[in-house]
Structure 1
Amino acid sequence: MPIALENVGIAVRDLDEAVSFFTDLGLTVLGRDEVSGEWADTAVGLDGNHAKIAVLQTPDGRGQLEFFEYIHPDAIETEPTLPNEIGMHRVAFSVDDIDDALAIAARHGCHPLRGVATYEDVYKLTYLRGPSGILVMFAQDLRKGASA
């Protein structure tokens, strides 16, 4: 059976804040909508499901994120996910320049959890908290641009 990843869905506190953060990083909005009705209740498994949504695509066209801001039922606040928790963990992005990506994130008040690490002179990487506490990883391949 052929299978393909459609997108990763993430519930957020503020849809506009999430869209602003990720579009500043280079993703583009494919569409925005408000969903509700019996089909939405059935698909998601929540009675009275009503949410604002936005679908964003990565510049390479291969990845999509779908964000939901719940109108009904009320969103449930949880503690931010820790890096060692079981379950949905993080969204990871390859970036050409980690310093540029971190400067964009900083304009949104988002900073590395601890700093930027270098893995075996191959990658620079870091985790940060994005909008609604989403864990976001940036990774810069240090081999790109190195002379052969």
Structure 2
Amino acid sequence: MPKNKLLRMDNMGIVVASLDTTVLFFEAIGLKLEWRGMIEGKWAGRVTGLSNQRVEVAMMVTPDGHSKLELSQFLEPAVVEDHRLAPVNALGYLRAMFTVDDIDELVNRLTGQHGATLVGEIVNYENIYKLCYLRSADGLLIGLAEELNKK
């Protein structure tokens, strides 16, 4: 058995075009803003390999407190690539999946009030889950799942 064992996954990071828009989008899903601030200075560049970085960060947390998203908007240096519209079979970041209690209501709210678009359709997977993929107005791909036959 390895001497050093994994304790937990702290968060998943996503670089976004608009922190304000993306925070509102994830709040509409049900995540809560835990912290927001600027990350800059030599220490930050030493971690990321970007020497002169200025990044505004928002830490979002799920209602159970176990999962977090770190949303980052780079002010310096400029974003160098954009993968938001990559197809679902592209290498790299694909999507974050969230379990919700009413997928139809949330999809209607996200598409109607937050500019999200349904990627395919809402499907029933073996009467266990209703599933779908959405793209936020900023192009981020997320998955939604609603457990059917909840106990």
**TM-score in terms of structure 2 length:** 0.91
* 1:7/1:64 contact within 8 Å kept: yes
* 2:122/2:131 contact within 8 Å kept: yes
Out of 55, 61, 71, the residue aligned to residue 57 of structure 1 is 61
Partner AA of 1:100 in structure 2: E
Partner AA of 1:128 in structure 2: L
* 1:12/1:131 contact within 8 Å kept: no
* 1:81/1:133 contact within 8 Å kept: no
1:122, distance to aligned residue in structure 2 (A): 1.1
Q: Which residue of 2 aligns with 1:45?
A: 49
Q: Please list the CA deviations of residues 34-64 of structure 1 after superposition, one character each: whole Å capped at 9, or x if unmatched.
A: 1110111011111211110000000111100
* 1:50/1:72 contact within 8 Å kept: yes
Q: Please list the CA deviations of residues 82-126 of structure 1 after superposition, one character each: whole Å capped at 9, or x if unmatched.
A: 111121110000011101211221111102111111111111100
Q: Which residue of 1 aligns with 2:32?
A: 28
Q: Greater CA deviation, 99-108 or 85-94?
A: 99-108
Q: Greater CA deviation, 37-46 or 80-89?
A: 80-89
Are 1:132 and 2:138 counterparts?
Answer: yes
Percent identical: 34
Partner AA of 2:86 in structure 1: T
Out of 84, 90, 94, the residue aligned to residue 85 of structure 1 is 90
Give the Cα–Cα distance (whole angstroms) in 2 for the partners of residues 40 and 143 of structure 1: 46
* 1:30/1:57 contact within 8 Å kept: yes
SS state of the match for residue 132, structure 1? coil
* 1:101/1:138 contact within 8 Å kept: no
Runs of 4 or more consecutive aligned structure 1 residues displaced over 4 Å after TM superposition: none
Give the Cα–Cα distance (whole angstroms) in 1 for the partners of residues 20 and 109 of structure 2: 16
Q: Greater CA deviation, 10-19 or 100-109?
A: 100-109
Q: Cα RMSD between the aligned structures?
A: 1.2
**TM-score in terms of structure 1 length:** 0.93
Give the Cα–Cα distance (whole angstroms) in 2 for the partners of residues 110 and 14 of structure 1: 14
* 1:117/1:124 contact within 8 Å kept: yes
1:77, distance to aligned residue in structure 2 (A): 4.4
